């Protein structure tokens, strides 16, 4: 297993030089006391916790997986103790409301911590990750009683949370879900139905599990407009809001089985059965999907960060190996005359892989933290215009981050195996686990295909390009002040910015005649958007590197070289995606099912 070292220097570069977080926190209501010293101290501590406590359990979790026995799920050895340490360290409540026991720190800071958690042990990270999603939903849509009843224990971590959407016959298409909620005389509801693939649905880490469940009320309209959201605790609560005594606590919630999966084996993926389980409506009737979207946006960004984080772990393993492994001689002259061979780092093809890994990962980090900064603004700014703009930008960037970071994260982990050659394929080295663990990130929280449709359909065409215009203006503004050394790359980026809305107009026109044109263009449009956004971030990083070169030459020269690599070897992929997306739907849709 590659040893994970939290990339504090990289994170600090993005925080301090690229995104000017010090200024951002000072200007954001409620974050004025988040000083650089505090941020540094938290990142250091998170780095220690994740590298020394969580990472050593990553291979253990993969090997042992979770065990199901008569409805009871046991997590891999060490997971429970690590969770206890996590809670005791106050990590579970770090970004949540201080009114309910949290520390009220910015979402952007939490994003850096969650990157480290997922890089060290993505399976383990699922338990607090799902809880965070549930907390967000209760905070946003719960009434006072619900907030007071559930949030303190969830923020403390003594209770965990889930999101229960998927059923055997419905995944992407939630409009057809069947779980039912019958109103009870006391104002609560009795839920009956079966959910599958529920992450953290049952386990031994917490005293209670608070399920957020999508279900239908009697006579609810068909489709997505007839879905409501409910809070269903695994164990019933007493009048004090604590888990009821043994005799009365059962709530008709049971774990029927757990899945045996390709990866994230330490995360329990459960069938959860609700049998007249007592639950409480959260948010308005039939608006459950909208409420769940609050949770899903945050969860989607969390999944994006998982893709990036696992890629980071893979980069670390591959670079270390490439410097150690002696194989072949450099074609341009022996580099290691005292040894039998040169390290594989000398070979251009190995560098192609390593630089692809690094530039995608560092570029995604820059874009991911930029997006997290926008979340801070959308949550805290007192300026209505800033909030409205932030929400628009978030809507646009969330599907890009989710799909692009996970698609490219998977590519990175795949290269990670290739760099190690045969050893990459062997379990002991841990690189293949990273491929398996990363693979799910492209599927859950909405597959890449669904993110692409969301971006192209809802966030661009339905929005008449308003969010796209915002991001283009922001990118143009950032490129105003670039050093002349970068003018060639700036030209490429500006050309891509011009093409971006032009392509959407073309697709929009074609869609008036044939709506399949949108679905046929969506994936390539999303990937195009991802490469353009990374081009923007790499230009920004290169610009800082040129200006600050004298302060830490190796670090900044590295950034500049990576920007060159990105524009010469990865940015051209954007052009390929633009050609494909403009090629139209016919090459996909003309063939009949029988002709496959």
Ligand X SMILES: Cc1cc2nc3c(=O)[nH]c(=O)nc-3n(C[C@H](O)[C@H](O)[C@H](O)COP(=O)(O)OP(=O)(O)OC[C@H]3O[C@@H](n4cnc5c(N)ncnc54)[C@H](O)[C@@H]3O)c2cc1C
Cα→Cα distances 465→219, 388, 458, 460, Å: 37, 15, 10, 5
In 3D space, the residue among 347, 361, 418, 367 whose CA is nearest the CA of residue 570 turns out to be 361
Does residue 166 bind ligand X (CB under 6 A)?
Answer: yes
CB 369, min distance to ligand X, A:
25
Residues 32-71 as x/- pattern, contact with ligand X by CB under 6 A: ----------------------------------------
- Our CB check for ligand X shows the closer of 105 and 455 to be 455
Cα→Cα distances 52→5, 365, 562, Å: 9, 22, 30
- Our CB check for ligand X shows the closer of 124 and 566 to be 124
Q: Which residue is nearest to ligand X (CB)?
A: 171
Does residue 534 bind ligand X (CB under 6 A)?
Answer: no
Residues 488-527 as x/- pattern, contact with ligand X by CB under 6 A: -------------------------------x--------
Residues 265-294 as x/- pattern, contact with ligand X by CB under 6 A: ----x-------------------------
Does residue 199 bind ligand X (CB under 6 A)?
Answer: yes
Tell me the C-alpha distance between 211 and 588, whole Å: 40
- Our CB check for ligand X shows the closer of 95 and 166 to be 166
Among 54, 232, 450, 486, binds ligand X (CB under 6 A): 450
Does residue 297 bind ligand X (CB under 6 A)?
Answer: no
Does residue 171 bind ligand X (CB under 6 A)?
Answer: yes
Cα→Cα distances 270→169, 367, 533, 544, Å: 15, 33, 36, 47
Q: HEC states along 387-427? A: HHHHHHHHHHHHHHHHHHHHHHHHHHHHHHHHHCHHHHHCH
Does residue 443 bind ligand X (CB under 6 A)?
Answer: yes
CB 211, min distance to ligand X, A:
10
Does residue 163 bind ligand X (CB under 6 A)?
Answer: yes
For residue 335, the SS3 value is coil
CB 199, min distance to ligand X, A:
3
CB 162, min distance to ligand X, A:
6
- Our CB check for ligand X shows the closer of 362 and 454 to be 454
Tell me the C-alpha distance between 160 and 156, whole Å: 9
Among 101, 395, 449, 558, binds ligand X (CB under 6 A): 449
- Close Cβ partners of 496 (under 8 Å, ≥ 6 residues apart): 528, 531, 532, 535, 571, 574
Does residue 92 bind ligand X (CB under 6 A)?
Answer: no
- Our CB check for ligand X shows the closer of 73 and 450 to be 450
The window from 85-93, 165-173, 338-346, 424-432 that contacts ligand X (CB under 6 A) reads: 165-173
- Our CB check for ligand X shows the closer of 353 and 450 to be 450
| 12-19: Cβ within 8 A, 24+ apart | 12/40, 12/43, 13/541, 13/555, 14/365, 14/366, 14/369, 15/39, 15/108, 15/112, 15/369, 17/544, 17/548, 18/366, 18/369, 18/370, 18/537, 18/540, 18/541, 18/544, 19/108, 19/369, 19/370, 19/373
- Our CB check for ligand X shows the closer of 389 and 454 to be 454
Q: Would you call 258 exposed, middle or buried from its count of C-beta atoms within 10 A (0-12, 13-18, 19+)? A: buried
The window from 323-331, 333-341, 380-388, 446-454 that contacts ligand X (CB under 6 A) reads: 446-454
- Our CB check for ligand X shows the closer of 106 and 161 to be 161
Considering the candidates 240, 445, 551, 561, report the single residue annotated as catalytic.
445
The window from 30-38, 219-227, 441-449, 564-572 that contacts ligand X (CB under 6 A) reads: 441-449
Residues in region 336-355 near ligand X by CB under 6 A: none
Tell me the sheet residues that pair with 258.
270
- Close Cβ partners of 279 (under 8 Å, ≥ 6 residues apart): 181, 188, 189, 190, 191, 213, 215, 230, 231, 232
Among 112, 440, 503, 539, binds ligand X (CB under 6 A): 440
Helix pair angle (516-548, 466-479), 10° resolution: 20
Does residue 306 bind ligand X (CB under 6 A)?
Answer: no
CB 89 within 8 A of CB 49: yes
Is residue 445 among the annotated active site residues? yes
CB 161 within 8 A of CB 133: yes
CB 437, min distance to ligand X, A:
10
Residues 143-162 as x/- pattern, contact with ligand X by CB under 6 A: -------------------x
* β strands within 35-97, DSSP E: 67-69, 72-74
Number of residues that bind ligand X (CB under 6 A): 21
- Our CB check for ligand X shows the closer of 112 and 452 to be 452
Tell me the sheet residues that pair with 229.
214, 282
Among 21, 46, 165, 417, binds ligand X (CB under 6 A): 165
Residues that bind ligand X (CB under 6 A): 162-166, 171-172, 197-199, 261, 269, 440, 443-444, 446-447, 449-450, 453, 519
Give me the active site residues, please: 445
């Amino acid at each position: 297993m590659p040893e994970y070292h939290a990339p504090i220097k990289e994170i600090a570069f993005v925080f301090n030089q690229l995104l000017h977080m010090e200024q951002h926190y000072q200007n954001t209501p409620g974050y004025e006391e988040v000083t650089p010293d505090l941020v540094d101290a938290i990142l250091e501590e998170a780095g220690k916790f994740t590298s020394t406590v969580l990472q050593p359990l990553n291979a253990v979790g993969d090997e042992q997986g979770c065990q199901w026995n008569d409805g009871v799920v046991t997590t891999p050895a060490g997971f429970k103790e690590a969770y206890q340490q996590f809670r005791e360290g106050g990590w579970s409540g770090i970004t949540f409301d201080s009114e309910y026991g949290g520390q009220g720190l910015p979402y952007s800071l939490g994003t850096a911590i969650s990157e480290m958690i997922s890089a060290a042990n993505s399976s383990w990270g699922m338990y607090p990750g799902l809880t965070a999603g549930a907390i967000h939903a209760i905070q946003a849509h719960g009434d006072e009683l619900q907030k007071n009843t559930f949030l303190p224990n969830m923020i403390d971590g003594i209770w965990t949370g889930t999101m229960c959407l998927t059923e055997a016959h419905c995944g992407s298409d939630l409009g057809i879900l069947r779980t039912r909620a019958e109103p009870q005389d006391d104002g609560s509801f009795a839920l009956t139905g079966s959910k599958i693939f529920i992450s953290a649905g049952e386990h031994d880490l917490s005293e209670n599990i608070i399920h957020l469940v999508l279900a239908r009320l009697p006579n609810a309209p068909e489709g997505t407009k007839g879905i409501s959201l409910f809070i269903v605790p695994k164990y019933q609560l007493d009048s004090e809001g604590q888990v009821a005594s043994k005799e009365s606590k059962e709530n008709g919630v049971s774990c029927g089985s757990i899945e045996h999966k390709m990866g994230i084996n330490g995360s329990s993926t459960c069938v959860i059965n609700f049998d007249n389980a007592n639950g409480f409506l959260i948010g308005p009737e039939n608006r459950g999907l909208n409420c769940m979207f609050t949770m899903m946006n945050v969860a989607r960004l969390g999944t994006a960060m998982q893709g990036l984080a696992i890629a980071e772990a893979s980069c670390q393993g591959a670079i270390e190996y490439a410097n150690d492994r002696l194989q072949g001689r450099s074609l341009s002259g022996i580099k290691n005359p005292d040894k039998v061979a040169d390290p594989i780092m000398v070979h251009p093809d190995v560098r192609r892989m390593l630089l692809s890994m690094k530039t995608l990962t560092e570029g995604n980090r820059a874009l991911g933290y930029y997006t997290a900064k926008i979340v801070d603004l959308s949550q805290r700014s007192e300026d209505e215009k800033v909030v409205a703009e932030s929400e628009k930008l978030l809507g646009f960037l969330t599907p890009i981050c989710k799909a692009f970071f996970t698609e490219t994260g998977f590519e990175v982990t795949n290269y990670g195996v290739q760099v190690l050659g045969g050893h990459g394929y062997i379990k002991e080295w841990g690189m293949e686990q990273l491929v398996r663990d990363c693979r799910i990130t492209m599927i859950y929280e909405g597959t890449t295909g669904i993110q692409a449709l969301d971006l192209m359909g809802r966030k661009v065409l339905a929005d008449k390009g308003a969010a796209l215009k915002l991001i283009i203006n922001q990118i143009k503004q950032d490129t105003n002040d670039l050093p002349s050394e970068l003018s060639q790359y700036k030209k490429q980026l500006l050309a891509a910015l011009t093409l971006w809305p032009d392509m959407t107009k073309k697709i929009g026109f074609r869609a008036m005649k044939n709506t399949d044109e949108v679905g046929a263009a969506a994936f390539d449009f999303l990937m195009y958007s991802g490469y353009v956004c990374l081009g923007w971030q790499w230009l920004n990083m290169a610009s800082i590197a040129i200006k600050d070169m004298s302060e830490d030459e190796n670090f900044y020269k590295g950034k500049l070289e990576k920007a060159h690599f990105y524009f010469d070897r990865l940015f051209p992929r954007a052009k390929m995606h633009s050609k494909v997306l403009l090629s139209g739907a016919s090459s996909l849709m003309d063939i009949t099912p029988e002709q496959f």
